[in-house]
Amino acid sequence: MIKKIMHSGLVLGLLLLAGCSAEPAKKTQDPAVTKFSTSVKATKAATSSLQAAIKDVDHDLSSTKAEIASLKDDLAADKAASSASAESASKAATEAAGTSKNAGTSQKASASHKPATVSRGTTPAALAAKTYAGNQELTVDNNAPGFSAAELSTAHGAWERYADLDGYNRAVVADAMLNTSLMPTEARTALTWDPTGWHNRRTAHGWLYNRSHLIGFQLSGENNNPKNLITGTQSLNNPLMLAHEMDIATYLKGSSRRYVRYEVRPIYRGQELVARGVQMRAQSIGDNTIRFNVFIFNVEDGYTINYATGTSTTN
């Protein structure tokens, strides 16, 4: 027994001397395994972040869909209101025309028609609600321009001002105190800007649409200015708008001391891209040689215009 104990002690001592331990050796992690484990953890973290991002996008998409649905509802309501307003205006015009044998029966857009009269205090909204019934040009507010004394002041000399395009990229209004000093000194160049609703097409007399200047080039020298251009029919542009512009140009060229307060406003119905017409107001300073307030329908004989888009069909 003593010999066995001594033998065991001897073996243990030899093992200690050889650098061995009675405890099991600790395993060393393979570097490749460590790297793979780290990569897996990183991938899991990235996947988690991606899932969270997708969830956020889904939430935003749902919100956007709800907003689009709301906008569609608003647009439908606007269209319904515009339709009702147009129907009411059309009915009133028909009743008023009943006292005249030929009133409102001709569909020809012609400058030879005697302008109808629109009551005083007419607003752009009221003009937008009007329906074309044969007279392409209407006299507004008994032809009184309605500018205030401050608006007729020449204290700042000649000037011109164009409002920024609205949320639908449409030209809004152009104002000026005209004088020969604003007239162009260089030749007119080709127009490249396409105003809203620009879907032009060939007609028997050329083209359905012109890029119509609110303030004519001959009066201001403004040419390829988006804030000064609308989609206008040929008859709107020439002869109707041009006739008034020529009268103003002739008056101004009579003296460098002459001024004309001028404003041209396209009249849109709701969110339509093509104007239903333009309102033109002008007043010469110091006399009444130039004095008018008219509304010209943006129509063309033989064609029906979709004012919401600018497309058209042949009648």
pLDDT the model gives residue 27: 53
Amino acid at 145: P
Which DSSP state fits 278?
Answer: E
Amino acid at 280: M
pLDDT the model gives residue 29: 62
Of 48-52, 227-231, 279-283, where does mean pLDDT reach its minimum? 48-52
Alpha helices in the chain (DSSP H): 2-17, 31-97, 124-128, 217-220, 234-235, 242-252
Round the average pLDDT of the chain to a whole number and report it.
80
Percent of the chain scored above 90 by pLDDT?
61
- Asked if 120 contacts 144 with a C-beta cutoff of 8 angstroms, the reply is yes
Separation between Cα atoms, residue 175 and residue 159, nearest integer Å: 8
Other CB atoms closer than 10 Å to residue 264's CB: what's the count?
25
pLDDT the model gives residue 96: 38
- Between 52 and 268, the higher pLDDT residue: 268
Q: How long a stretch of residues is the chain? A: 315
Q: Token pair 């991938």 is at which residue?
A: 43
Other CB atoms closer than 10 Å to residue 8's CB: what's the count?
10
pLDDT tens-digit map of 153-194: 999 999 999 999 999 999 999 999 999 999 999 999 999 999
- Between 172 and 52, the higher pLDDT residue: 172
Q: What is the dihedral of CA 87, 90, 95, 101, to 10 degrees?
A: -150
Separation between Cα atoms, residue 268 and residue 195, nearest integer Å: 14
For residue 20, is pLDDT > 50? no
Q: Categorize the per-residue pLDDT at 1 as very low, low, confident or very high, splitting at 50, 70 and 90.
A: low
Of 26-40, 144-158, 214-228, where does mean pLDDT reach its minimum? 26-40
Distances (CA, A) of 82 to 49, 75, 173, 251: 49, 10, 22, 40
pLDDT the model gives residue 85: 44
